[in-house]
Structure 1
Amino acid sequence: MEQTKTIKNKILSHGSTAFEPTLLVYRHALGFIVEVIEKEYSLLGGLLTKELTPAVEKFIHRTKNNPTPKYNFTSNFYKFPSYLRRSAISKGFGIVKSYRSNLQNWEDEKSKAHAEGKVFKKKPPVLRVEHDAFPVLYKGNMFNRLSTDQAEIKIHKNNDWVWEIITFNDKNLKNRGIMDWKENNPTLVKIGKKCFINFSYTKEIKLKKTKIIDQIIVSVDLGLTNSAVCSAMYSDGTVIGRKFINQPIEKDRMNTLVGKLKKAQRNSGFIEAPNYWKKINGLQNHIKVNTASEIIKFAETYDADVIVFEYLGKMHIPKGIFGAKKLRHKLHHWCKLGVQSKVEEMAHYRGMRLRRVNPKYTSSLAFDGSGEVKRNTKKDLATFQNGKVYHADLSASYNIGARYFIREILKPFSEKKRLAIQAKVPELLARTRLTLASLISLHQALRTNGAKPA
């Protein structure tokens, strides 16, 4: 599968104002093209990607063979680079196509509501002409690299398009292991008062295809007290490694900020409080990235083939939770989603696969098969029915890994073989109650029957 990564490099030689004219002209041109595509969509909507660009250019670009285009783009945007124009056409068509799709969905919802006799108050989508888009600098036409940290780019300056030499910070390029990745066209990006040149890289990566019997997995429980608890496991249920990941300082700071935010909102009514949210989002992002990085490091230590998570699904807020506690619950769920997404991206770069299992009862059932557990007030320890006290999230991580192996081991078996195995291991019938003990029992049954996992 093809993987893409983008590396951001700050431009050191110029301030943000040097590229303002370039961004403004590109965005105005994009808005112009969006309006043209919308007006002519009946003629352009069914075209292929290769056919679209020349068709739109016939409407807007004046040439010797096309002296009187329908829309006067050439006069409004003097000397506008051809590759930048084609980039804007591609971007504009995507904007219009998305709008048309949303409009069709809105009309379908409206028709369905009227057919059922319901009142439909949802407003229709609106086509936005103005977008904070950033130009792609095509190599040769808009971008020429001079050295590892220098390049010349074409920008709009003094009402003309001229070449400008820039110097950028290349430390990210040196530290990200991209020597064998293909470099694509860069993008000029402005964030706040800083400008960056972003390079995207692509590489064809083959994911591991290890047989299930030979696989090493890392099962991850994104818990309540710890950001993540990981277990490295063989297919027979042998646990060969454990890791606890947490960021107590960042979490304490974030909880304090959430409390202050809610206090300010109680005293002053609803306020957006951008400074509070900026700090909260920064801490949230640090927790997400650090957790994902530690999971990947742990997986690399054991040369894992697969990383297994619980399927999270939609967020469900318990009744009676409101205020700061409700916001913390939301932040916790959003962080879990972010961690899974980041781990999936990083795992694929390394050829590892990512799988998800049913989360029901993974935490409430003891890994040794003794039944439901009783958790202490801090929710970090669990007391089994046989009296054993164990870490609740670690027990859950064992169950997550076991559920993955059981599913993959039974998948290739015929229905007859599966029923014969389930007759010897009855707990396999209730898939939401599978534990590590179930996996061990399954292997014992397979050895008895002389069957082997695929």
Structure 2
Amino acid sequence: MQQTKTIKNKITSHSSKTFEPTLAIYRKALSFLVDVINTEWSVLENLSTKELVNAVEKLTHHTKTNPCPKYDFDATFYKFPSYLRRAAISKGYGIVKSYRSNYQNWLDEKSESIVNGKHFKKKPPVLTVKHQAFPVFYKGNMFKQVSDNQAKIKVFLGNDWVWVTITFHHKNLKNRGIAGWKENNPTLVKTGKKYFIHFSYEKKIQLNKTKLKEQVIVSVDLGITNSAVCCAMRSDGTVIGRKFINQPVEKDRMYTKINKLKKAQRHSGYVNAPNYWRRINGLKKHIVHHTSSEIIKFAVDHQADIIVFEYLGKMKHPEGMYGAKKLRHKVHHWSKLGIQRKVEEMAHYKGVRIRRVSAKYTSALAFDGSGEVKRNHKKDLAAYQNDKVYHADLNASYNIGARYFIREFLKSFSEKKRLLLEAKVPSLVTRTRLTLASLISLHQALRTNGA
């Protein structure tokens, strides 16, 4: 599979005033081209990207062989670099194609509602002409590397397109000793009041194809108190490693900022408070990145082939119980999906696959098969029916890993063999009540059958 990385290099030699005119004129040109492509869509929609770029240039760009274009782009954007114009055309094509696709989906949804006799209230999508896009600098024509931390770029300055030598913080994959990544054309990006040169790298990565019986997985239980609890497990249910990941200092700071913001809003009504949100979001981002990197380190240390998560998309917030409002507030700031997305991105760089299982009853059932547990949420403990006490999140991580292996084993068997195994191990019938004990029983049944 194709993977992409982006390295951000801060420009240190020039102020933002140097690049503001370039960004403004590029966005203005993009708006012009988006309008042209949308107007001529009936002619352009069936063309390939290369054919479309040539067709739009014939409609907008003045040449000897094309003295009277239908839309005079050059009159408004004099001496606009050709490669930057083609980059804007490609970007504009993507914008219009996305809008047209969304509009067609809206029409289909509307017609379906009318046929079914339903009242359709959804508003149609609107084409946005103005976009916060950033220009791509093609190497050789718009960008020339002078040294490791210096380059010449063509910018719009003093009503003309001129070459400017910039100095930037030098960070790239080659210096990090990572081979095989192809460096693409850089992009000029504005973040806040500062400008950066972004280099994107791409590489074709082969994900591992380890046989199921030889796999080592890392099952992850994401939580609010502990950001993540991981366990490394073999296919026979042997647990070979455990890890608790948490950021108590960052979480305490975040909840303190949130409570201060709530107090200000109670006294003054709605408060925008950008500084509060900047700090809250910064702490949330740190928690996501730190948790993700620790999960990946744990997986690499145990040479894991798969990382298994729970499906945590739509969750019902608790109501009617003591402390439900406070818990709902914590769940609202829980970056569960952000951690999963970041881990998936980082895992694919290592060739590690990602899998997900149902979250139902993973924490409610004891991993030893003794039945449902009683939770002590203050201490994150689970009391089993056989009087054993164990860590609730670690218990859940065992069940998550077991569910993955059981699902994959049963999926590879014929219907006849699966029914035979379910007769020997009755707990396999109910998929949402599978535990680590179920996996161990399945492994013993397979050994008895010689599988």
TM-score range, shorter chain: over 0.9
Contact 2:134/2:189 (<8 A) preserved: yes
The residue number in structure 2 matching 1:330 is 332
The percentage of aligned residue pairs carrying the same residue is 71
After TM superposition, list the pairs within 5 Å mapping 1:123-162 onto structure 2.
Answer: 123-162=123-162
The 5-angstrom pairing of residues 10-409 of structure 1 reads 10-171=10-171, 173=173, 176-320=176-320, 325-332=327-334, 335-378=335-378, 380-409=380-409
Contact 2:53–2:89 at 8 Å: present in 1 too? yes
TM-superposed deviation, 1:269: 2.1
Moved more, 376-385 or 395-404: 376-385
Using the alignment, how far apart are the partners of 1:46 and 1:222 within structure 2? 46
Give the aligned residue type for 1:289. H
Q: 2: distance between equivalents of 1:176 and 1:339? A: 25
**What is the alpha-carbon distance in structure 2 between the residues aligned to residue 112 and residue 326 of structure 1?**
37
Residue ranges of structure 1 left out of the alignment (5+ in a row): none
Deviation at 1:379, TM superposition (A): 5.7
Q: Deviations over 1:98-144 (max 9, x none)?
A: 11222223333333444444444333222111111000111111111
The alpha carbon displacement at 1:64 in A equals 0.7
Q: Residue 427 of structure 2 corresponds to which residue in structure 1?
A: 427
Which SS does the other structure have where 2:333 is aligned?
Answer: helix
Q: Report what 2:436 is aligned to.
A: 436
State the alpha-carbon separation in 2 of the partners of residues 100 and 319 from structure 1.
Answer: 42
Q: Deviations over 1:215-269 (max 9, x none)?
A: 1111100023200000011111111110000000111111112222222222222
- Which stretch has the larger CA shift, 75-84 or 371-380? 371-380
The one-character-per-residue Cα deviations of 1:280-328 (angstroms, maximum 9, x if unpaired) are: 1101100000000000011111111111111112233233588765342
SS of alignment partner, residue 221 of structure 1: strand
The SS at the match of 2:303 is coil
Give the aligned residue type for 1:78: Y
| Letter paired with 1:319 | E
In 1, the alpha carbon distance for the partners of 2:175 and 2:270 equals 44
- CA–CA distance in 2 between the matches of 1:51 and 1:386? 71
Q: How far is the alpha carbon of 1:17 from its aligned partner?
A: 1.1
The amino acid across from 2:331 in the alignment is: H
CA contact (8 A) 1:35 1:129 kept: yes
Could you give the per-residue CA deviations for residues 73-110 of structure 1, whole angstroms, max 9, x where no partner exists? Answer: 01111111111111100111111111122222333333
1:258 and 1:328 in contact (8 A); partners too: no
Q: Could you tell me how far apart the structure 1 residues matched to 2:237 and 2:231 are?
A: 11
TM-score (norm 1): 0.95
Distance in 2 (CA, whole Å) between partners of 1:176 and 1:109 is 50
Contact kept, 8 Å, 2:113 with 2:119, in 1: the verdict is yes
TM-score normalized by the length of structure 2: 0.96
* Paired residue secondary structure (1:304): coil
Deviation, 1:180, is 2.6
TM-superposition CA deviations, 1:385-410 (whole Å, max 9, x none):
10000000000001111111111122
Q: Is the 8 Å Cα contact of residues 368 and 436 (structure 1) preserved in structure 2?
A: yes
The question of whether the paired residues in 1 share the 8 Å contact of 2:367 and 2:436 is answered with yes
Contact 1:149–1:170, Cα closer than 8 Å, also in 2: yes
Q: Secondary structure at the match of 2:368?
A: coil
**Secondary structure of the structure 2 residue equivalent to 1:146:** strand
Question: In structure 2, do the counterparts of structure 1 residues 322 and 126 end up closer, same or farther at CA, with 3 Å as the change threshold?
Answer: farther
* One-letter code aligned to 1:330: H
Supply the distance in 2 between the matched residues of 1:446 and 1:173 (Cα, whole angstroms): 47
Letter in 2 for 1:145: Q
| Deviation for aligned residue 1:56 | 0.7
How many aligned positions are there? 449
**Is the contact between residue 173 and residue 181 of structure 2 (CA under 8 Å) also seen in structure 1?**
no
Name the amino acid aligned to 2:283: L
- Kept after mapping to 2: 8 A contact 1:224/1:379: no
Relative to structure 1, the CA distance from residue 315 to residue 63 in structure 2 (aligned partners, 3 Å threshold; closer, same or farther) is: farther
Q: Distance in 1 between matches of 2:108 and 2:94?
A: 21
* One-letter amino acid of the structure 2 residue matched with residue 122 of structure 1: K
Superposed CA deviations along residues 182-224 of structure 1, whole A, max 9, x for unmatched, are: 1001100011111000000011111111111111111100023
Checking the alignment, whether the CA contact within 8 Å between 1:234 and 1:240 is kept in structure 2 is: yes
Kept in 2: contact 1:215–1:234 (CA 8 A): yes
Paired with 1:28 and 1:300, the residues of 2 have a C-alpha distance of 47
Contact 1:183 1:199 in 2 (8 A): yes
Give the residue type in structure 2 aligned to 1:326. Answer: R
